[in-house]
Amino acid sequence: MQSECTQRVAIYARVSTTNHGQDVSMQTRELREFAEARGWTVAGEYIDEGVRGAKDSRPELNRLMADAHKRRFDIVCVWRFDRFARSVSHLLRALETFKALGIDFVSFSEQMDTSTPAGKMVFTVLGAVAELERSLIVERVRAGLRNAKAKGKRLGRPRVILDARRIATLRVQGLGWKKIARQLGCGISTVLRVAQAVPKLGKGILERNGPSPSPDIRNT
Protein backbone atom coordinates (compact mmCIF):
# COMPACT_ATOMS: atom_id res chain seq x y z
CA MET A 1 0.00 0.00 0.00
CA GLN A 2 0.96 3.64 -0.34
CA SER A 3 2.55 5.62 2.46
CA GLU A 4 0.09 6.66 5.14
CA CYS A 5 0.17 10.38 4.24
CA THR A 6 -1.21 9.66 0.78
CA GLN A 7 -3.92 7.17 1.72
CA ARG A 8 -7.31 7.78 0.14
CA VAL A 9 -10.23 7.05 2.44
CA ALA A 10 -13.91 6.49 1.72
CA ILE A 11 -16.26 7.53 4.52
CA TYR A 12 -19.51 5.61 4.98
CA ALA A 13 -22.29 6.77 7.30
CA ARG A 14 -25.92 5.78 7.81
CA VAL A 15 -28.98 6.67 9.87
CA SER A 16 -32.13 4.53 9.83
CA THR A 17 -34.58 7.40 9.96
CA THR A 18 -34.55 11.18 9.82
CA ASN A 19 -37.89 11.54 11.63
CA HIS A 20 -36.62 11.30 15.22
CA GLY A 21 -33.81 13.79 15.21
CA GLN A 22 -31.20 11.37 13.91
CA ASP A 23 -28.53 13.28 12.06
CA VAL A 24 -25.74 11.71 10.04
CA SER A 25 -23.58 14.83 10.42
CA MET A 26 -22.23 13.64 13.78
CA GLN A 27 -20.83 10.51 12.12
CA THR A 28 -19.37 12.32 9.12
CA ARG A 29 -17.83 15.08 11.27
CA GLU A 30 -16.02 12.62 13.53
CA LEU A 31 -14.89 10.52 10.58
CA ARG A 32 -13.54 13.57 8.73
CA GLU A 33 -11.64 14.67 11.85
CA PHE A 34 -10.29 11.14 12.30
CA ALA A 35 -9.15 10.98 8.67
CA GLU A 36 -7.47 14.37 8.94
CA ALA A 37 -5.64 13.31 12.12
CA ARG A 38 -4.33 10.22 10.32
CA GLY A 39 -3.21 12.25 7.32
CA TRP A 40 -5.66 10.62 4.93
CA THR A 41 -7.32 12.28 1.95
CA VAL A 42 -11.10 11.87 1.82
CA ALA A 43 -11.77 10.43 -1.62
CA GLY A 44 -15.52 10.26 -1.18
CA GLU A 45 -18.41 10.25 1.26
CA TYR A 46 -21.15 7.64 1.00
CA ILE A 47 -24.20 8.48 3.10
CA ASP A 48 -27.41 6.47 3.39
CA GLU A 49 -30.08 8.51 5.16
CA GLY A 50 -33.38 6.97 6.18
CA VAL A 51 -32.23 3.48 5.18
CA ARG A 52 -32.61 0.54 7.56
CA GLY A 53 -29.50 -1.49 8.31
CA ALA A 54 -31.43 -4.75 7.82
CA LYS A 55 -31.02 -4.29 4.08
CA ASP A 56 -27.92 -5.65 2.35
CA SER A 57 -28.65 -3.46 -0.63
CA ARG A 58 -28.53 0.30 -0.01
CA PRO A 59 -27.92 2.98 -2.67
CA GLU A 60 -24.76 4.50 -1.21
CA LEU A 61 -23.39 1.21 0.11
CA ASN A 62 -23.82 -0.26 -3.37
CA ARG A 63 -21.99 2.74 -4.85
CA LEU A 64 -19.18 2.34 -2.32
CA MET A 65 -18.72 -1.34 -3.22
CA ALA A 66 -18.72 -0.48 -6.92
CA ASP A 67 -16.07 2.23 -6.40
CA ALA A 68 -14.02 -0.22 -4.32
CA HIS A 69 -13.75 -2.48 -7.36
CA LYS A 70 -12.60 0.57 -9.35
CA ARG A 71 -9.82 1.14 -6.74
CA ARG A 72 -10.96 4.70 -6.02
CA PHE A 73 -9.77 4.53 -2.40
CA ASP A 74 -7.39 2.59 -0.17
CA ILE A 75 -9.39 2.59 3.08
CA VAL A 76 -13.05 2.36 4.07
CA CYS A 77 -13.84 4.11 7.33
CA VAL A 78 -17.13 3.73 9.19
CA TRP A 79 -18.39 5.20 12.45
CA ARG A 80 -19.47 1.84 13.86
CA PHE A 81 -19.91 -1.74 12.62
CA ASP A 82 -23.71 -1.65 12.80
CA ARG A 83 -23.82 1.48 10.63
CA PHE A 84 -22.19 -0.52 7.85
CA ALA A 85 -23.24 -4.18 8.08
CA ARG A 86 -26.52 -5.82 9.10
CA SER A 87 -24.88 -8.99 10.48
CA VAL A 88 -21.54 -10.65 11.17
CA SER A 89 -21.79 -12.63 7.94
CA HIS A 90 -22.56 -9.47 5.94
CA LEU A 91 -19.62 -7.67 7.53
CA LEU A 92 -17.31 -10.61 6.87
CA ARG A 93 -18.30 -10.79 3.19
CA ALA A 94 -17.51 -7.10 2.79
CA LEU A 95 -14.20 -7.45 4.63
CA GLU A 96 -13.23 -10.40 2.44
CA THR A 97 -14.01 -8.31 -0.65
CA PHE A 98 -11.93 -5.40 0.65
CA LYS A 99 -9.05 -7.73 1.53
CA ALA A 100 -9.05 -9.19 -1.99
CA LEU A 101 -8.97 -5.65 -3.41
CA GLY A 102 -6.17 -4.53 -1.09
CA ILE A 103 -8.43 -2.11 0.78
CA ASP A 104 -8.23 -1.68 4.55
CA PHE A 105 -11.29 -1.30 6.77
CA VAL A 106 -11.46 0.94 9.83
CA SER A 107 -14.25 1.22 12.40
CA PHE A 108 -13.95 4.46 14.37
CA SER A 109 -15.97 3.49 17.47
CA GLU A 110 -14.60 -0.04 17.83
CA GLN A 111 -11.07 1.16 16.99
CA MET A 112 -10.62 -1.71 14.56
CA ASP A 113 -8.16 -1.34 11.68
CA THR A 114 -7.52 -4.34 9.41
CA SER A 115 -4.10 -2.97 8.48
CA THR A 116 -2.86 -3.65 12.04
CA PRO A 117 -2.11 -7.03 13.70
CA ALA A 118 -4.99 -6.49 16.16
CA GLY A 119 -7.35 -5.68 13.32
CA LYS A 120 -6.31 -8.79 11.42
CA MET A 121 -6.98 -10.84 14.53
CA VAL A 122 -10.50 -9.38 14.76
CA PHE A 123 -11.03 -10.30 11.10
CA THR A 124 -10.03 -13.90 11.89
CA VAL A 125 -12.35 -14.02 14.90
CA LEU A 126 -15.23 -12.66 12.82
CA GLY A 127 -14.60 -15.40 10.29
CA ALA A 128 -14.78 -18.03 13.02
CA VAL A 129 -18.00 -16.51 14.41
CA ALA A 130 -19.59 -16.47 10.94
CA GLU A 131 -18.61 -20.10 10.39
CA LEU A 132 -20.14 -21.01 13.76
CA GLU A 133 -23.28 -19.10 12.83
CA ARG A 134 -23.59 -21.06 9.57
CA SER A 135 -23.00 -24.38 11.36
CA LEU A 136 -25.69 -23.61 13.94
CA ILE A 137 -28.21 -22.74 11.23
CA VAL A 138 -27.47 -25.99 9.38
CA GLU A 139 -27.79 -28.01 12.57
CA ARG A 140 -31.11 -26.32 13.47
CA VAL A 141 -32.50 -27.13 10.01
CA ARG A 142 -31.38 -30.76 10.27
CA ALA A 143 -32.84 -31.08 13.76
CA GLY A 144 -36.13 -29.66 12.52
CA LEU A 145 -36.24 -32.16 9.65
CA ARG A 146 -35.48 -35.06 12.01
CA ASN A 147 -38.23 -33.91 14.36
CA ALA A 148 -40.74 -33.60 11.52
CA LYS A 149 -39.81 -37.04 10.22
CA ALA A 150 -40.17 -38.56 13.70
CA LYS A 151 -43.70 -37.13 13.89
CA GLY A 152 -44.58 -38.75 10.60
CA LYS A 153 -44.80 -35.53 8.62
CA ARG A 154 -44.23 -35.79 4.89
CA LEU A 155 -41.28 -33.70 3.73
CA GLY A 156 -40.84 -32.05 0.37
CA ARG A 157 -43.37 -30.68 -2.07
CA PRO A 158 -46.97 -31.78 -1.50
CA ARG A 159 -48.22 -34.33 -4.02
CA VAL A 160 -50.77 -33.12 -6.53
CA ILE A 161 -53.68 -35.54 -6.92
CA LEU A 162 -55.08 -35.36 -10.44
CA ASP A 163 -58.37 -36.77 -11.69
CA ALA A 164 -58.01 -38.23 -15.17
CA ARG A 165 -61.72 -37.69 -15.83
CA ARG A 166 -61.34 -34.02 -14.93
CA ILE A 167 -58.53 -33.80 -17.47
CA ALA A 168 -60.73 -35.49 -20.06
CA THR A 169 -63.57 -33.07 -19.38
CA LEU A 170 -61.34 -30.04 -19.79
CA ARG A 171 -59.84 -31.51 -22.94
CA VAL A 172 -63.30 -32.11 -24.43
CA GLN A 173 -64.13 -28.48 -23.65
CA GLY A 174 -61.31 -27.52 -26.01
CA LEU A 175 -58.62 -26.55 -23.52
CA GLY A 176 -55.02 -27.12 -24.54
CA TRP A 177 -52.58 -29.11 -22.42
CA LYS A 178 -50.87 -25.98 -21.15
CA LYS A 179 -54.14 -24.41 -20.01
CA ILE A 180 -55.24 -27.64 -18.34
CA ALA A 181 -51.94 -27.87 -16.48
CA ARG A 182 -52.24 -24.25 -15.35
CA GLN A 183 -55.82 -24.77 -14.17
CA LEU A 184 -54.89 -27.90 -12.21
CA GLY A 185 -51.73 -26.37 -10.79
CA CYS A 186 -49.20 -28.83 -12.19
CA GLY A 187 -46.84 -29.37 -15.12
CA ILE A 188 -47.83 -30.35 -18.65
CA SER A 189 -45.83 -33.59 -18.45
CA THR A 190 -47.80 -34.56 -15.31
CA VAL A 191 -51.12 -33.96 -17.04
CA LEU A 192 -50.06 -36.06 -20.03
CA ARG A 193 -48.76 -38.84 -17.81
CA VAL A 194 -52.04 -39.05 -15.88
CA ALA A 195 -54.13 -38.93 -19.05
CA GLN A 196 -52.12 -41.70 -20.69
CA ALA A 197 -51.99 -43.82 -17.51
CA VAL A 198 -55.66 -44.76 -17.92
CA PRO A 199 -55.70 -46.77 -21.18
CA LYS A 200 -59.30 -46.28 -22.27
CA LEU A 201 -59.56 -42.72 -21.03
CA GLY A 202 -56.17 -41.73 -22.39
CA LYS A 203 -56.89 -43.28 -25.76
CA GLY A 204 -60.25 -41.53 -25.92
CA ILE A 205 -58.74 -38.16 -25.14
CA LEU A 206 -55.98 -38.57 -27.68
CA GLU A 207 -58.22 -39.90 -30.42
CA ARG A 208 -60.74 -37.13 -29.85
CA ASN A 209 -58.18 -34.36 -29.75
CA GLY A 210 -55.32 -35.63 -31.85
CA PRO A 211 -51.95 -37.04 -30.73
CA SER A 212 -50.51 -35.74 -27.50
CA PRO A 213 -47.52 -33.50 -27.74
CA SER A 214 -44.14 -34.22 -26.26
CA PRO A 215 -43.96 -33.04 -22.60
CA ASP A 216 -41.44 -30.49 -23.77
CA ILE A 217 -43.90 -28.84 -26.18
CA ARG A 218 -45.76 -25.92 -24.63
CA ASN A 219 -48.85 -25.86 -26.85
CA THR A 220 -51.96 -24.00 -25.74
Q: Active-site residues: which are they?
A: 16
What's the helix, strand, coil split of the chain in %, to 5?
A: 55, 10, 35
Nearest residue to 73 via CA among 48, 98, 93: 98
Strands 75-78 and 8-15: parallel
18 in helix, strand or coil? coil
103 in helix, strand or coil? coil
Single-letter residue type at 85: A
**Rg for the chain (alpha carbons), in Å?**
29
